[in-house]
């Protein structure tokens, strides 16, 4: 019996060893496969690393004449939110045309009468017969006009001698007139020209020789004359029922500043500030905008202003959603962007047919929004969750534009108002002083308001100079 039991024990041990060997073989086989995979991955990474190192030394826009558009891994520009209309580019059929028309009273007439025959060369003596006409429009050479103001005195019978006065604004023995100052301000603020280019233009086109210091003084002087109009614009914005607001950075002698705007369809008010927070708002509007619905992005400072209501800019929200859609981060972002597009289509119908009842459609959009905001988003999509939480926080400011026909669904008007600051810096460079930035803001506010009201810009600048003499 002992021998049998010993044999059985040995068999059990052998069986256990065999199983252990089989397991070890499986482990060794799996590890061998894993080693092979890791070896291949290491080789692939080595190749990729070498390729990336080589790319670091390739020509790009920073080390050669290669244009920025050819740079690898170049960030995409902000994509347009517009959808294709399906129409061809250019003017559409039926649109009113506009072309040059001949005048019946030209300033100068030149008669081209032939004096010899083009065939035989003989002198022509017969009466010339009119055939047709053509006109050219041109600009004559621009020459400065000097006006001399002479003061006289007269003796009265009472014995008093009365001396006449010079017109307002004519203080120095010789000075530049209203058109020069208005033109300099127009070129600087509307055409974004730098001081040295204004100097060149005046010298070579208008035959006026002004120093750069004189040009800066003229811009400063004109900005001061615009202040009454500037303050009037601010007062009218305070009384408005819907106001858009935005801010953008600019550079003053190498340091960061902020250009703010508050605007309506007919008014633009721009402020240069060194602060991006609530201080700029309270300094500009001490009492806030209690009558207005304030349209803006989600910058927190805008929520601190006293306002009747707020409207979030849907264009900003859709751009953020496009980023999540491109990254394929859940279908929630696609559904929410689709809902915003639906609300924009409804807004177009409200504007086109304002007398219809849209309460049911607005309720459906709000219900869909609440349902989407209730849905959960995967924890791994942190940025998308942050976006959704922000929308939940400001849920009441999402669709006020559907309730009031005068409230726009986006803040594009404010972005257009401050885009001029970026254009000015691209064309002329940074502002040299903060006073220069403030002068630009004052004059630009007046110009933008003129543009919105279809008023001739240069005529308005000229009238301001005349009505506000030094």
On the question of pLDDT at 28 being above 60, the answer is yes
Q: Which residues contact 316 (CB under 8 A, 6 or more apart)?
A: 297, 298, 410, 411
Instruction: Give mean pLDDT, residues 93-97.
Output: 74
pLDDT digits (tens, 9 = 90+) for 142-198: 889 899 999 999 999 898 999 999 888 788 888 888 889 999 999 999 999 999 999
| Residue 299 scores a pLDDT above 90 | no
pLDDT of residue 272 exceeding 70, the answer is yes
Judged against a pLDDT cut of 60, whether residue 62 lies above it is answered with no
- The residue-averaged pLDDT of 208-227 equals 93
Tally Cβ neighbours within 10 Å of residue 137: 9
For 393-415, what is the mean pLDDT?
93
Q: Please give the average per-residue pLDDT across 86-101, as a whole number.
A: 75
What pLDDT score does 73 carry? 63
Residues 206 and 295 in one domain: yes
Give the pLDDT confidence score for residue 324 in this predicted structure. Answer: 82
Q: Among residues of the chain, what percentage have pLDDT more than 70?
A: 91
Q: Mean pLDDT lowest for which of 382-386, 421-425, 445-449?
A: 382-386
Q: Is residue 392 part of a domain?
A: yes
Please list, residue by residue across 312-330, b when 16 or more beta carbons sit within 10 angstroms of its beta carbon and e when fewer do: bbbbbbbebbbebbeeebb
Q: Is 177 exposed, middle or buried (0-12, 13-18, 19+ CB in 10 A)?
A: middle
**Contact status, residue 442 vs residue 434, Cβ threshold 8 Å:** no
Q: Indicate whether 296 and 322 sit together in one domain.
A: no
Residue 74 in this model has a pLDDT that exceeds 80: no
Rounded average pLDDT over 329-342: 87
Task: Please give the distance of CA 80 from its chain centroid, rounded to a whole number.
Answer: 13
- In DSSP notation, 142-192 reads P----------EEE-TTSPEEE--PPTT--SSS---HHHHHHHHIIIIIS-
Task: Report whether pLDDT(452) > 90.
Answer: yes
Helix (H) or strand (E) holding 50: helix 2-56
Pair (252, 302) in one structural domain: yes
For residues 418 and 270, the answer to whether their CB atoms sit within 8 Å is yes
- Average pLDDT value for the chain: 87
The CA distance from 101 to 252, in Å, is 47
**How far from the centroid of its chain's Cα atoms is residue 315's Cα?**
13
**Strand-by-strand arrangement of the 242-252 sheet:** 267-273, 255-264, 242-252, 289-296, 307-312
Helix, strand, or coil (residue 5): helix
SS3 of 109-140: the string is CCCCCCCECCCCCCECCCCCCCCCCCCCCCCC
Which range of residues forms the domain containing residue 325?
314-410
| Residue 44 placed within a domain | no
Decide if 245 is inside a domain.
Answer: yes
Residue 69 confidence class, pLDDT cut points 50, 70, 90: low
Q: How far is CA 259 from CA 41, 156, 194, 426, 442, in A?
A: 52, 59, 19, 15, 11
Residue 416 has pLDDT above 80, yes or no: yes
CA-nearest of 298, 296, 297, 278 to 288 is 278
Q: Are 339 and 369 in contact (CB under 8 A)?
A: yes
Distance CA 101, CA 293 (A): 47
Tokens of 302: 């805008």
Are residues 273 and 415 located together in one domain of the fold?
A: yes
Q: Average of pLDDT values for 124-137?
A: 90
**326 in a structural domain:** yes
Q: Are 417 and 402 contained in the same domain?
A: no
CB 278 within 8 A of CB 305: yes
Express each pLDDT in 339-378 by its tens digit: 999 999 999 999 999 899 999 999 999 999 999 988 888 7
Residue 388 has pLDDT above 70, yes or no: yes
Question: What pLDDT does residue 68 have?
Answer: 67
* C-beta separation of 346 from 361 below 8 A: yes
Q: Are residues 333 and 366 in the same domain?
A: yes
CA atoms lying within 13 Å on the CB side of residue 466: 7
| pLDDT confidence bin for 33, thresholds 50/70/90 | confident
The answer to whether residue 119 scores a pLDDT higher than 50 is: yes
More confident residue, 28 or 468: 28
Q: Does residue 395 sit in the same domain as residue 422?
A: no
Residues 6+ apart with CB under 8 A from 469: 167, 168, 169
How large a percentage of the chain has pLDDT more than 90? 53
Q: Would the pLDDT of 63 be above 60?
A: no
Same domain, 287 and 428: yes
With tokens 């607005």, the residue in question is: 362
Residues 214 and 320 in one domain: no
**CA 199 – CA 108 distance, rounded (Å):** 33
Provide long-range contacts, Cβ within 8 A and 24+ apart, for 448-451: 448/263, 448/268, 448/270, 448/417, 448/420, 449/229, 449/233, 449/266, 449/267, 449/268
Please give the Cα distance from 429 to 31 (Å, whole number). Answer: 63
Q: What confidence tier does 64 reach under pLDDT thresholds 50, 70, 90? A: very low
* Residue finishing a domain among 410, 439, 458: 410
Average pLDDT over residues 205-223: 92
58 falls in which pLDDT band (50, 70, 90)? low
Residues 229 and 275 in one domain: yes
Find out whether 461 and 245 touch, Cβ atoms under 8 Å.
no
**Greater pLDDT, 261 or 6:** 261
Instruction: With respect to residue 273, please indicate whether it lies within any of the assigned structural domains.
Output: yes
Indicate whether 418 pLDDT > 70: yes
349 and 379 fall within a common domain: yes
Do the domain assignments include residue 182? yes
pLDDT of residue 84: 67
Could you tell me if 289 and 201 lie in one domain? yes
Nearest to 245 by CA among 408, 385, 118, 359: 408
- pLDDT of res. 435: 93
The backbone torsions φ and ψ at residue 341, rounded to the nearest 5 degrees and listed phi first, read -65, -40
Residue 319 covered by a domain: yes
Distance from CA of residue 60 to its chain's centroid? 28
End of a domain among 362, 383, 410? 410
pLDDT digits (tens, 9 = 90+) for 281-292: 999 999 999 999
Residue 203 within any structural domain of the chain: yes
> What is the rounded distance in angstroms from the CA atom of residue 214 to the CA atom of residue 28?
87
- Show which of 410, 435, 456 is a domain's final residue: 410
Q: Structure pTM?
A: 0.77
Please tell me which residue, 415 or 62, carries the higher pLDDT value. 415
Mean pLDDT value across residues 222-236: 94
Count of structural domains, the chain: 2
Nearest to 150 by CA among 136, 159, 163, 131: 163
């Amino acid at each position: 019996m002992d021998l049998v039991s010993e044999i059985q024990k040995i068999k059990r041990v052998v069986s256990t060893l065999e199983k252990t060997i089989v397991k070890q073989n499986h482990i060794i086989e799996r590890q061998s496969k894993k080693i092979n995979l890791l070896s291949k991955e290491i080789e692939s990474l080595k190749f990729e690393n070498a390729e990336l190192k080589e790319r670091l030394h390739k020509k790009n826009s920073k080390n050669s004449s290669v244009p920025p558009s050819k740079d690898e891994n170049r960030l995409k520009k902000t994509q347009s939110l517009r959808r294709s209309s399906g129409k061809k580019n250019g003017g559409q059929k039926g649109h009113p045309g506009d072309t040059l028309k001949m005048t019946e009273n030209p300033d100068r007439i030149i008669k081209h009468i032939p004096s010899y025959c083009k065939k035989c060369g003989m002198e022509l003596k017969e009466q010339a017969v009119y055939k047709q006409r053509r006109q050219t429009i041109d600009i004559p050479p621009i020459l400065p006009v000097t006006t001399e103001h002479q003061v006289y005195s007269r003796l009265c019978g009472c014995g008093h001698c009365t001396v006449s006065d010079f017109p307002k604004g004519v203080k120095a023995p010789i000075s530049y007139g209203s058109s020069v100052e208005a033109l300099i301000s127009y070129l600087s603020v509307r055409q974004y020209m730098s001081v040295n280019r204004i100097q060149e233009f005046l010298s070579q086109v208008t035959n006026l020789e002004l120093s750069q210091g004189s040009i800066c003084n003229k811009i400063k002087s004109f900005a001061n004359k615009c202040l009454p109009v500037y303050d009037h614009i601010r007062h009218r914005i305070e009384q408005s029922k819907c106001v858009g607001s935005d801010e953008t950075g600019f550079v003053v002698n190498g340091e960061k500043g902020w250009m703010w705007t508050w605007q309506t369809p007919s008014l633009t008010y721009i402020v240069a500030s060194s602060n991006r927070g609530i201080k700029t708002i309270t300094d500009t509007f001490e009492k806030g905008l209690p009558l207005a619905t304030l349209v803006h992005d989600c910058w927190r400072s805008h929520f601190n202003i006293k306002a009747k209501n707020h409207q979030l800019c849907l264009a900003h929200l859709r751009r953020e959603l496009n980023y999540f859609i491109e990254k394929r981060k859940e279908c929630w972002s696609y559904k929410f962007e689709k809902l915003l597009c639906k609300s924009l289509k409804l807004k177009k119908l409200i504007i086109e047919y304002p007398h219809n009842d849209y309460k049911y459609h607005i309720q459906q959009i709000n219900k869909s929004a609440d349902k989407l905001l209730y849905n959960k988003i995967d924890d791994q999509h942190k940025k998308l969750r942050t976006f959704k939480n922000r929308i939940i926080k400001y849920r009441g400011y999402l669709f006020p534009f559907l309730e009031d026909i005068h409230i726009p669904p986006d803040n594009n008007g404010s972005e257009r108002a401050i885009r001029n600051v970026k254009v000015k810096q691209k064309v002329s460079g940074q502002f040299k002083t903060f006073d220069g930035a403030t002068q630009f803001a004052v004059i630009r506010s007046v110009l933008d308001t003129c543009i919105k009201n279809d008023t001739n810009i240069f005529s308005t600048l000229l009238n301001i100079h005349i009505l506000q003499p030094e």
